[in-house]
């Protein structure tokens, strides 16, 4: 347990939270700082002021999971801050209830600022939660609507699935990510239903699942057989949105290549 770092983190979080953000009225002349008072955090977390004070002064015992969860709620911590709080206290953060299936507005806006790049955002269960027009032109019009799941596409043939040189590799990537999601969100009903559907409907999925594949997101090159534009050599790069356990997939082509010219033409048609 990193007592000094935990104490500093709690003090910083308390100082950064304004009374009006939790429904308090910052009145009176005795409020010397814009942040919350210790007694206000203690009340929100349903613990004694003395106990919370000792934590902020690096004198407290190792807090339990219940105490850490209560502090996380009281201080309005983000998922990333929640995990950091647990690490400082020397504990493992409990698994999340469910995967985040809403994309952050600034991430969605970023996709629209990349007209020459196909871009999608996938959640922890490979649901497509955001996309831009070029990605839709490359991956199929059924990509829209927020109902596309790439795991179902890959193993169950639900939705348009173009021939690709990376189909086998992608199958292992999908299973590796879904295994991580199953560990992180064991109580997510949508994820549980998806895994049941994949196990029931795909022998290939069952076989790969048994191998327990491990994969880190990064750069891949694939050959895509597009029904309208023909064969395209594309680059796929993945950026992480760690606080939401989501991935941004960027699809590009080498500058000056035939595929790059095709992407440019599709981008013009899609706008």
Q: Go through the domains of the chain in sequence order and give each one's CATH number.
A: 3-88 (1.10.260.40), 105-270 (3.30.450.180)
Looking at residue 29, its pLDDT comes to: 47
* Structure token pair of residue 93: 């953060």
Calculate the average pLDDT of the chain: 87
Three-state DSSP state, 66: helix
Which of 179, 249, 187, 164 is CA-nearest to residue 211? 179
Distances (CA, A) of 166 to 54, 59, 126, 262: 55, 55, 17, 20
Three-state DSSP state, 238: strand
* Range 126-164 burial, b when 16+ CB lie within 10 A, else e: bbbbbbbbbbbbbbbeebeeeebbbbbbbbbebbebeeb
* Structure token pair of residue 101: 């299936």
Residue-wise pLDDT for 164-200, tens only, equals 777 788 899 999 999 999 988 888 999 999 999 999 9
Mean pLDDT score, 240-268? 92
This prediction's pTM: 0.69
Lowest mean pLDDT across 4-18, 123-137, 158-172, 211-225: 158-172
Looking at residue 25, its pLDDT comes to: 62
What phi, psi does 119 have (nearest 5°)?
-145, 135
pLDDT level of residue 24 (50, 70, 90 thresholds):
low
Please say whether the beta carbons of 20 and 106 come within 8 A. Answer: no
Provide the percentage of residues in the chain whose pLDDT is more than 70.
Answer: 91
Looking at residue 185, its pLDDT comes to: 87
Lowest mean pLDDT across 85-89, 113-117, 183-187: 183-187
Distance CA 9, CA 39 (A): 17
Distance CA 130, CA 105 (A): 10
Mean pLDDT score, 58-76? 89
pLDDT level of residue 161 (50, 70, 90 thresholds):
low
Lowest mean pLDDT across 25-29, 50-54, 156-160: 25-29
Angle between helices 189-201 and 167-184 (to 10 degrees): 140
């Amino acid at each position: 347990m990193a007592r000094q770092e935990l104490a500093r983190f709690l003090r910083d979080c308390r100082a950064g939270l304004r009374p009006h953000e939790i429904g308090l009225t910052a009145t009176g002349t005795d409020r010397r700082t814009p942040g919350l008072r210790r007694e206000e955090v203690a009340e929100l977390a349903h613990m004694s002021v003395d106990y919370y004070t000792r934590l902020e002064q690096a004198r407290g015992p190792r807090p339990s999971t219940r105490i850490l969860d209560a502090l996380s709620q009281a201080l309005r911590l983000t998922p990333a801050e929640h995990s950091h709080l647990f690490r400082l206290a020397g504990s493992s953060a409990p698994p999340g209830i469910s995967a985040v299936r809403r994309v952050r507005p600034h991430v969605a806006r970023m996709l629209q600022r990349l007209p020459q790049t196909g871009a999608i955002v996938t959640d922890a269960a490979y649901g497509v939660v955001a996309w831009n027009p070029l990605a839709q032109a490359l991956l199929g019009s059924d990509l829209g609507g927020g109902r596309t799941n790439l795991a179902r596409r890959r193993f169950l043939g639900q939705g348009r699935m173009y021939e690709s040189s990376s189909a086998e590799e992608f199958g292992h990537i999908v299973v590796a990510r879904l295994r991580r999601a199953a560990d992180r969100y064991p109580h997510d009903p949508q994820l549980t239903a998806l895994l049941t559907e994949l196990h029931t409907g795909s022998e290939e999925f069952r076989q790969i699942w048994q191998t327990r594949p491990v994969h880190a997101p990064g750069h891949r090159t694939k050959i895509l057989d597009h029904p309208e534009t023909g064969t395209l050599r594309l680059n796929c790069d993945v950026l992480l949105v760690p606080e939401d356990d989501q991935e941004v997939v960027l699809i590009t082509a080498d500058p000056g290549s035939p595929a790059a010219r095709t992407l440019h033409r599709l981008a013009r048609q899609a706008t």
